Chain A
Amino acid sequence: MPPIETFYEVMRKQGITRRSFMKYCSLTASALGLGPSFVPQIAHAMETKPRTPVVWVSGLECTCCSESFIRGAHPLAKDVVLSMISLDYNHTLMAAAGHHAEAALEETLEKYKGNYILAVEGNPPLNEDGMFCIIGGRPFLDQLKRAAEGAKAVIAWGACASYGCVQAAKPNPTRATPIHEVITDKPIIRVPGCPPIAEVMTGVITYMLTFDRLPELDRQGRPAMFYGQRIHDKCYRRAHFDAGQFVESWDDENARKGYCLYKMGCKGPTTYNACSTIGWNDGTSFPIQSGHGCIGCSEDGFWDQGSFYNRVTDLTQFGVEANADQIGLAATGVVGAGVAIHAAISALKAAQNRAALREEA
Chain B
Amino acid sequence: MTSRTLLVGPFNRVEGDLEVRLTVEEGRVVAAHVNSPLFRGFEMMLLGKDPRDALTITPRICGICSISQSAAAALALADAAGVTPAPQGALAAAILHGVENLSDHVTHFHLFFMPDFARPAYAGRPWHAQAVARFTAMEGSAARAMTSARAELLHIVGLLGGKWPHTLAIQPGGVTRAPTVRDKIRMATTLRSFRSFLEASLFGGALEDFAALPSLDALMGWSSGDAGLFLRIAADLDLLGLGPGPGRYLSSGGYPTASGTAFARGIWTEGTTAPLDSSAITEDLSHAWMLGPSRHPAQGVTAPDEDMAAPAYSWCKAPRLSGRTMETGALARQVVDGHPLALDLAARSSVLARVAARLLEIARTQILLEQWVAALDSAQPFMAEAPLCDGEGAGLVEAARGTLGHWVRIERGRIAAYQIVAPTTWNFSPRDAGGVPGPVEAALVGAPVGEGEVAPLAVQHIVRSFDPCMVCTVH
Binding site for B on A (CB under 8 A): 14-15, 60-68, 70-75, 78-79, 82, 86, 91-102, 125, 127-128, 131-137, 165-167, 169-174, 176, 194-195, 249-251, 255-256, 275, 279-282, 284-292, 295, 297, 303, 306-309
Residues in chain B near residue A131, CB distance under 8 A: 308
User: Which of B7-15, B199-207, B332-340, B436-444 forms contacts with chain A?
Assistant: B7-15
User: Using an 8 Å CB-CB cutoff, how does the interface string of B102-115 with A read, 1 for contact, 0 for none?
Assistant: 01000100010001
* Minimum Cβ distance to chain B for residue A279 (Å): 8
Most chain B CB within 10 A, of A93, A249, A284, A309, is at A284
CB proximity to A under 8 Å, residues B331-371 = none
Bound form: Cα–Cα A249–B308 in Å: 47
Cβ-defined contact, B45 with A98, below 8 A: no
* Minimum Cβ distance to chain B for residue A213 (Å): 29
Residues in chain B near residue A282, CB distance under 8 A: 151-152, 155, 158
Q: Which of the residues B37, B60, B171, B382 comes within 8 Å of A166, measured between beta carbons?
A: B60
Q: Which residue of B lies closest to A309 (CB)?
A: B52
Residues in chain A near residue B166, CB distance under 8 A: 64, 194-195, 297
Bound form: Cα–Cα A114–B306 in Å: 37
Decide if B381 is an interface residue (CB 8 Å cutoff): yes
Cβ-defined contact, B163 with A71, below 8 A: no
Top 3 A-B pairs ranked by shortest CB distance? A64-B63, A290-B162, A173-B41
Q: Which of the residues B37, B42, B151, B163 comes within 8 Å of A286, measured between beta carbons?
A: B163
Q: Which residue of A lies closest to B119 (CB)?
A: A95
Residues in chain B near residue A288, CB distance under 8 A: 162
Bound form: Cα–Cα A68–B150 in Å: 12
Cβ-defined contact, A280 with B455, below 8 A: no
Dominant SS at the A interface? Answer: loop
Decide if B174 is an interface residue (CB 8 Å cutoff): yes
Known A15-B144, A102-B10; judge A281-B44 contact (CB<8 A): no
Bound form: Cα–Cα A64–B40 in Å: 15
Could you pull out 10 A-B pairs where Cβ atoms are within 8 angstroms? A63-B62, A96-B12, A132-B40, A132-B304, A135-B37, A172-B45, A173-B40, A250-B383, A251-B86, A280-B158
Q: Which residue of A lies closest to B115 (CB)?
A: A95
Most chain B CB within 10 A, of A67, A250, A307, is at A250
Residues in chain B near residue A295, CB distance under 8 A: 56, 168
Residues in chain B near residue A133, CB distance under 8 A: 17, 37-39
Q: Which residue of A lies closest to B460 (CB)?
A: A97
* Minimum Cβ distance to chain A for residue B134 (Å): 13
Residues in chain A near residue B177, CB distance under 8 A: 289-292
Cβ-defined contact, B169 with A251, below 8 A: no
Cβ-defined contact, B163 with A134, below 8 A: no
Decide if B235 is an interface residue (CB 8 Å cutoff): no
Most chain B CB within 10 A, of A166, A251, A256, A309, is at A251
Bound form: Cα–Cα A82–B111 in Å: 13
Known A251-B176, A251-B381; judge A135-B17 contact (CB<8 A): yes
Size bracket of the B interface: 35 or more
Residues in chain B near residue A61, CB distance under 8 A: 63, 471
Decide if B208 is an interface residue (CB 8 Å cutoff): no
Known A169-B57, A281-B157; judge A62-B471 contact (CB<8 A): yes
Decide if B178 is an interface residue (CB 8 Å cutoff): yes
Bound form: Cα–Cα A78–B149 in Å: 12
Bound form: Cα–Cα A14–B147 in Å: 14
Residues in chain A near residue B139, CB distance under 8 A: 14
Known A136-B10, A303-B57; judge A284-B159 contact (CB<8 A): yes
Q: Which residue of B lies closest to A65 (CB)?
A: B63
Cβ-defined contact, B11 with A287, below 8 A: no
Residues in chain B near residue A285, CB distance under 8 A: 158-159, 161-163
Most chain A CB within 10 A, of B103, B115, B158, B455, is at B158
User: Using an 8 Å CB-CB cutoff, how does the interface string of B13-47 with A read, 1 for contact, 0 for none?
Assistant: 10111010000000000000000011111101100
Q: Which of the residues A15, A95, A98, A256 comes within 8 Å of B10, measured between beta carbons?
A: A98
Residues in chain A near residue B385, CB distance under 8 A: 249
Residues in chain B near residue A78, CB distance under 8 A: 147, 151
Cβ-defined contact, B178 with A63, below 8 A: no
Cβ-defined contact, B147 with A281, below 8 A: no
Known A101-B12, A133-B17, A308-B56; judge A256-B178 contact (CB<8 A): yes
